[in-house]
Structure 1
Amino acid sequence: MNTSDNERLQELAQFLRTRRARISPEQAGLPSGTRRRTPGLRRGEVALLSGVSIDWYTWLEQARNIQVSTQVLSNIARVLQLDTNERKHLFLLALQQVPIEVTSLESGISPLLQNFLDLQGTSPAYVMDQRLNIVAWNKAANLIYGDYEKMSGRDRNSVWRTFTSPDVRQLLREHWEAHARHRLASFRASYGKFTGDPWWMELIDDLKRISPEFSAWWPQHDVLGGPEGKKVNYHPTGGVLEFEQLSFQVADSPQLTAVINIPSGGGDTAYKLAKLLSSHTNGIE
């Protein structure tokens, strides 16, 4: 078994253990019984409710390289009460689905997509690849989230920047943790397609070493997809900015996700952004 397969199986085992620990016997329709040394269901209970032997389920949590059927995975997902994102993550890890190739973007995105971003005006907009790298943006995003043109490739990775940049913490203030957890959960969901890939492994190891929060939250195996919804930013010159976030997959480039932050707050945010854009265009800081 190669390193990539071993890492995938370890990831699967840890994910199952964290999800088993959060389900009580009562939630699974079982009597609580005697006092438990550890929270959640026992392995034997998951095996019983899933219709498999306890030895087989134990091997799964021991990261052994065993055959797993779609039906059994569905049963386990039901017993562990996984949501849609978690169920997808489980299947990606267990069934070794062929990863979608990461398309090289060295030549940039299409002019049409860049034009779409530019036309968003006072809505900060950007495009992310499967690694959550920011690969394109408009002027509003550049003004609010940082000068992407001057950033290194790693600093344009939204997960790296979230956990390492003081500017991001200042921009989000009391909302930083919710944003960071959401970003990490999205990153984890994407990682399920590329488990064991050297690029991902290097970034994860570096983040574990540099960020105490990342190191503490990564073992929790939270997975999530989709936009963050309402966002509040505290810009040093623009003040308090409120947004509703919309994201969608680019039809002709499915490895890309476009993210649009639409000003909310009764028109106040749109006014502030228009003023910021005008000042920047006229060379006024």
Structure 2
Amino acid sequence: MTNRFDLNEGASRLGSFLRDRRQRLDPAALGFGGRRRTPGLRREEVAQRANISATWYTWLEQGRGGAPSPRVLDSLAKALMMTEAEREHLFLVAIGRPPKAHVAGRGGISWRLQRFLDAMPTIPATVATSTWDIVGWNRAAQLALTNYEQLPPDERNILRRMFLDPATRAAQVDWEEVARFLVATFRTESTRAGENHRAADLIAELSAKSEDFARMWIENDVHTTGEGAKTIRHAEVGEISFEFSSFAIDGRPDLKMMIYNPAGDRDLEKIRLLCSLDQVDCNQSDFET
């Protein structure tokens, strides 16, 4: 049986949620003065911050304002200083669907997530944005995949490297399959993220510089990152096969973590050999040091 969004119930829950979040804010901290009989901002102050009518905002809290648009919901989330989890809840109770993910910048990841990556000394792992910018990695990924640390931030983009860097292309045992997968997941995730200047610029650049990308892009294939298998040619240890899986990062819908598990014992030994060549102890992770 299909679940249907109940507008009346949603309006009631929306009003309650807005009222609760409004009453939690500190007026003085937000530049509002005056004596108050109740905690939090006044309704007209929230409306002012969200650039909407005070009357309409009052109706929303009373459960009779009608379904607001995603743009208005985003304005309310900012006006009420909501966290990403609160913003998602706001959309779900108001219109029955989650918001489009905020697009990540390329400023890195939290130290806790980095410690998690480093706790896998023989399993390459990366964190990427919806446009395939690599913003986090562990040492195994540096040794087996790409030494991202030596690259400028703008060159840590997997799509750009796959289509414009001959060495990256030559390292793929089945370049066509890998490239199609990247383009299809890029289309899916950039569409999910909504309007994104980074994605638009990347599409324009790659379409102009790579006939292969332009050919694949107009085919309109879509794919989720999910899981799969790939084999690369490594300059020092030869072919390495991986089974990869993608994981969402809670609280950061704009990011995905990719885990590349060595497919067999021989592949694992090659990772360990790379560690030894780099004088890294693969039996001890950075997490433990």
Regarding TM over 0.5, the answer is yes
Q: Which amino acid aligns with 2:154?
A: R
Partner of 1:277: 275
What is the TM-score of this pair, normalised by structure 2? 0.60
Cα offset, 1:155, TM superposition: 1.7
Inter-partner Cα distance in structure 1 for 2:153 and 2:203: 16
| Cα distance per residue 1:240-279 (max 9 Å; x no partner) | 11111111101132221111100113x0011111111121
Partner of 2:257: 258
Contact 1:194 1:200 in 2 (8 A): no
Partner of 2:146: 146
- Between structure 1 and structure 2, the one with the greater Rg is 2
Contact 2:104 2:255 in 1 (8 A): no
Cα offset, 1:182, TM superposition: 0.1
Equivalent runs, 1:1-285 vs 2, <5 Å = 98-106=99-107, 108-173=108-173, 175-194=174-193, 197-265=196-264, 267-281=265-279
Q: Which runs of 4+ in 1 moved over 6 A?
A: none
Unaligned runs of at least 5 residues, structure 1: 1-96
Secondary structure of 2:222's counterpart equals coil
Cα offset, 1:105, TM superposition: 4.7
Unaligned runs of at least 5 residues, structure 2: 1-97, 281-289
Q: Which amino acid aligns with 2:241?
A: E
Inter-partner Cα distance in structure 1 for 2:207 and 2:106: 27
Inter-partner Cα distance in structure 1 for 2:106 and 2:196: 18
Cα offset, 1:228, TM superposition: 4.6
Partner of 1:78: none
Q: Which amino acid aligns with 1:209?
A: A
Partner of 1:83: none
Structure 1 residues 258, 203: CA separation in 2 closer, same or farther (over 3 Å shift)?
same
Secondary structure of 1:199's counterpart equals helix
Inter-partner Cα distance in structure 2 for 1:126 and 1:205: 25
Contact 2:128 2:136 in 1 (8 A): yes
Secondary structure of 2:153's counterpart equals coil
Structure 1 residues 271, 245: CA separation in 2 closer, same or farther (over 3 Å shift)?
same
Q: Which amino acid aligns with 1:200?
A: A
What is the TM-score of this pair, normalised by structure 1? 0.60
Q: Which amino acid aligns with 1:178?
A: E
Greater CA drift, 249-258 or 207-216? 249-258
| Cα distance per residue 1:188-222 (max 9 Å; x no partner) | 11221355533222111110111110011111110
Structure 1 residues 229, 146: CA separation in 2 closer, same or farther (over 3 Å shift)?
same
Partner of 1:12: none
| Cα distance per residue 1:72-124 (max 9 Å; x no partner) | xxxxxxxxxxxxxxxxxxxxxxxxx8532123452x31111111111111111
How many residue pairs match? The answer is 184
Inter-partner Cα distance in structure 1 for 2:212 and 2:179: 9
Secondary structure of 2:256's counterpart equals strand
